[in-house]
Structure 1
């Protein structure tokens, strides 16, 4: 195939790669077989499998039943080793044609005919365990394992080559054989013969031994996993008895074939060499550490560099670690010198030349380059080191040896072991064999969630002046009941400049009352087995409740106390403001939040003090900061009352008891200010596209919105609802099929309509997430699909499938008690019954294809869209 510096490459027809390294200067021969499989190639539950195979291959086959004994009889110094990317089998012996031919035959036989008997596995298990335990006694080795497992999130370089004890002890012999057949094959191996031998004769013997092995038809499995770039420093601590403290600083570095790998090799010497390395001079010579060291792993995938210290005692560990990191990451301010670079290059090249000159070690040295992808990297890396310039090494240091790419691992010797119990699995069969469950939680009768049945079962009551209730009592599992209480207050004028104050009051209602401190209130809600959620809504507050039958009356009393007598303490207000400000701070780097905010600001062109105004995120932060506790208390005194209120309950409860509790706790609570719904009339919005950049965000977001001149009472409402379902709401919608299923550009794309029940002003919106580089492709796919559907319309088959899906979705919504309670409360406010929903369902069932296509064309105007995209866009 090729020849480089005396090494000749050959290849058999079955794919076996052969490297011949003749050296007559010493009467020895070394044979090395490198199989390109290591712990990197193991799957879940298979850790340690590559290493275990290495052991079992020496257990022999039918043709070679006692391999180890034969090695001894023939005077072969033989062994094997397993690492991340490869497994090696090697033997050195005094030059002898019979031994050479025999060992080549054993290697070929071991590649495909290993017995892998269960008895051999069981016998070798003790040896493998002992090897594992030997490693577990080495604090430095275990610390490296812990550091790498913290450093790598997904890649197998973060797992020990020897594997997890549980995987090894429970290995499936059938799975082990599959792993063997998958990876042990001639086209996945390189055979290296070095030393004294006759090249022509060796090639003949190799052909005789390996040539008959067929090349498998199946391709080699890929190992695609790569870790993402590290996004912040990490730490791990190991505590065990005995030994001395250790500190490792680990950094992700490029793979062995990368041009920067040579620079990292030299950097390891500049920093970690003794006595000339910077770490030795700064920490060992000043007695802050007993020893300093460093190395870089050249691997097939991105590897790691380690810089470490061994200390005399735990005293001074933190200071030594600080100095270690300062030396490593301070290369930007204390640049590498020419003399440091030349010294490191000379030392590295000396070691390379010594390894190349030794016929007994050159095969193993070459195997590491083979594991990285190609044996010629052995020479290319040498050339790269020879030609290294100061600028390249300095750039590599500043690029890779930085805080956000760092993992620190500390070993702290301790005599106080505080271990959790050993992990064990649970015997579920034995534990559950006599379990009967709670007999009280019996099945409940089926409830028909049709609009007609909901109306028939719902009792509407005027509880007090201004407070109406819709009560739907039915059996539920666990005697559960969902309820909703809405208070409405203020006018658009009265609420001017009060948007953030109103939201903060609502957020404080569950933070304690005048009679119950915050913890006492939380304890009482737990005692009542209740969940209470308070939300500020446009011109009011909404409270969602969930409890069980016997506790609903008492819970209504507690909720009334929260609404009428909130503590509204300054400390709680500060906490809520901090949380809100933190969420707004986070929102400013969120593509979704930024794009949504940009669109909503365009859709609501109201003055800054109008309750309908949508401020920019930064402006909203300033408004939140400005709210004081007296403003919050004044707002509650001015607006809160039950003169304009709706209550609903769905589930297992006593209707009369609920009505009585409402009258007792909310009766006579008059609203201080009048209420008039905040209007949201149709406004003209100029179309446009806004691009927002969110650095270091891997996901991008695109939103488009369009105001629609209709309400949910409009005759076109059912047709447009179904058209939207076909366009982008359903799982088989046009946009979903094009953008996600066909082009694979997004995890999700959806359209929805925010329907207005009061005025002819609804809003259609589209939202989609995607990789930032795909913005152009996403826009093009959306534009093309919208144009196509507006030109060609939907098909009859699409219509029938969507009709069934939409009706089923509406039925499912009515079957959710929490949703049903919210809908009943809203119906009270609107003066509606579920007969309206029934009429909509009936209209959906009757809609023709022409009506649906006409509704979409009438209202969907892409040229009027308001667009916003946010992401880490390059341009």
Structure 2
């Protein structure tokens, strides 16, 4: 019997091998570069990129179609993006009627999935446990040619996309940016925004979308990318199995041929809407991404617009003319814009800022840049290129843009192109492209200054955008790393540790090394990352949140640390970090100081030295402090016109008493606190709270030979300070039902918040059962709220539910959604129908098992990045847990019973005590403003 089985196994293996060999005949190898292999699947012309890394059991499957909004014509603008939404509605094999939607099936494996549309391409991707690669390939092949594209789905999704459009219209900067592109390019199809014009979104017939789909969605117009843990012969077999049935496109795919006519003079546009800051964006026409001048333009943008040493920061921010300033070059396939942007308080005039921008340009065109400046940017980008490729999902995203630009190898060779740039090249491109007659200048002029009659807002620091949005992007913000001075205070105000469920990892064979070094609680974890490490750290502020009179002091103190030390002024300090490609982030909430960085292993000692210098020896310059206060005030004022911020604060104020640290102050109160803050208070705060007493530090990555302990002992020797104390506070209590309206004029998208106090803490036995229950209701595309209020009713672009509150205090539960004001009441009603069912009936046994599989499967996905692991472990030890709780977490999820979950929902949510907040262009009764 044993012999028979053995022979049978050999026979099966032999057959599999022969099959793989036969399959490989259809795969013509084109080239290999940087570990990436390119193949052509000859039967249908599909391009394939493979990057194998078997260190972690995770893979990303991505398909990029070489069709974007530039392929649209008048009347069907936005079609690419609307079609991308419909591609999630299903096929005959995967659909809602069968109970196996694309999002359900993928999310139930623990996958992270989404899609984005841009000018030159559309991509679909899923990062998932590698044993589920076949499922991802099957789905992508299926929807390539079998998407249902039903009229009823289009009608529902149209209002979803329209709401996404309206959300963009809420933001002054994205609105200005869209207007600039429309004015700069009057003929080229980059003229229209990727999301399209509103009337086209509303009126495009389903036949137009089907025709678009049948024209461009073919294998010979696509690149299939697989990155991570796989075996090439297996992947070839799966591609043959699922894509082998699909032929090449039956017809030639039309390509846009319209060229932009010559521009004969400077153009100017003005946008007037409610707002708090003036904005100027000055944009100059430039060529496409693969043009020989783009590397020099990218370096020019970095030199004049990035970091404290940048000319724009020195000219506008340091002089207090502006709140922020930046410069950047787009890297689209055909043409683009080099944009200089400045946001400023209305004490400055648009014409003066405009003139000053022109002076900066003229100075660059006359004096050029130095070799040291070029070297510093090249060193920075070289290091950041390595550091950014942390996980298959990030690599897929970068490859996506390289594919869109016309040559995937630019992903590998882009740094080499940068290294060839000379100061003479930078001077030449500045003189060649930054020409006034080829410019388009946009003014955003606030129509009125907002006011807040009720305590319902808090501070937020604006992060400028580089160009238009990626539509249907996983996050709402993209394009910029947040420096320590740019971190959103609102993000930190009620921050708890990073959600375990978002960044959790599977049990690893690596040991968690924990020790005290220079008084710091240090955890080291070795992973498969090569040549780099990620560090996440925090310092507890003890009882500060309850005792303080000025909650802005921690954020101001943390931001001052990057403004120079007693050893290096802010320019020298910033330049040292820039050469290492490191973004050293130090920011603070009233609860703790957050610290983080990622660096090459060889540079760890230098970065630790700089971190110690920043933490221990800040300069605390008086002039810098006054400049910083102005920036904080200017950024905070913007929230007066932000329905999301105003609604969020109104909810916190309705749930918590003023004596609870989760209570949120108004915009006016935060601004007053900023104005009242003194440098002496900042110095006293730093002296008391900064130190090793409660500091925790986690390092993850290629830790062998990194010598972190030696570096910490050297740089933090004899460092004292910090506090070890528990947060004291008055606990909240469940309050009566309440409805409140926050009126903000001229906002095409309004925000809904529904919530109530639960009192749940992370350490409570009910926390995980309740978390699973909430996850079923409102987490991601597969949550009930998204599948009903969004997908069935078509009322919103985004709706979710979550748990909030500081980890040491009793938390709260909430639902958040955005609706057109005309549809607001209908959206609220639809939302409450689902909440009512959830509370009264609970979740089903099938839902419970699916969500368990989802949460546990996401461990494998989270394990693929050093950042996710470092932040998760830091969260554990902040809560008093051991790092190896990672190994227990799946068991805690698995053992939750249906009874426990449904009991927890009923226990903590009372339908008669809902707090409802409506924020946007609504009158006091919640009706749309006329």
The alignment's TM-score, normalised by the length of structure 1, stands at: 0.49
> TM-score w.r.t. structure 2 length?
0.46
Higher relative contact order (CA 8 A, sep 6+): 2
Q: Which has the larger radius of gyration?
A: 1
